[in-house]
Amino acid sequence: MKHASTRAVFAYWNERRGSRPAPERADIDPGVIRQALGDTFLLSTDFVDQLRFRLAGTRICALFCREVKGEILTELWAEKSRKAVEDIISIVGDEMAPAVTGLTGHAADGAAADLEMLLVPLTRNGANARVAMLGVLAPTIPVYWIGEKPIVDIHLNAVRHLAPELAHHASPRLAPPAADGELRHGFTVYSGGRDQPSTERSA
């Protein structure tokens, strides 16, 4: 994990779940991760089956130069990456397997920003039954134009599902590579994020 917010949110999520596959929404105290809140979001299925942003931090909204609350997560991605992102979401939700991804966001003029996204599952019970996931979306390297021009699509470069270190809980499987992806050393690497092939990056 490259970004401080990713590391902080994952560590807190891992602490709060204890011996469970995932914590409940009520277990998450935003004040504990307040330094990461600008990069943090909550996803829910309010009134629809598709995951939408219930909450999105100010730095996430700055990436797109708008408030993204209520928008569908997968529609932020370039069309060729959407099926892979849907598969990642399914594994996170169905198998309680957190995922960290390497992404490239593009502005309309072709400017690019390297991003990192974390998705961790939440157990859906009671009043928070529709809240499904907690996440982080942040640039791995500061980009001067963020907040001045919006990211208009995102390409998926690599994904890794993180196995909870519980002796009695089976390690979740890695996401299978999509048709245009190749599985290497625990990562699914997708082409299309850059014009030239890049060396494999850790998440």
CATH number at residue 128: 3.30.450.20
- Note down the domain range covering 21: 4-190
Is 197 a member of any domain?
Answer: no
Q: For residues 200 and 114, give the distance between their C-alpha atoms in angstroms, rounded to a whole number.
A: 14
CB 136 within 8 A of CB 5: yes
Phi, psi of 188 (to 5 degrees): -100, 115
Domain count, the chain: 1
Cα torsion angle, 111, 182, 8, 26, sign: positive
Note the pTM of the prediction, 2 decimals.
0.78
State the DSSP string of 110-174. S-EEEEEEEEEE-B--GGGTTEEEEEEEEESS--TTTTTS-EEEEEEEEEEEPPP--TTSPPPPP
Statement: residue 137 has pLDDT above 80? yes
Average pLDDT over residues 51-69: 94
Regarding predicted confidence, which is higher, 115 or 199?
Answer: 115
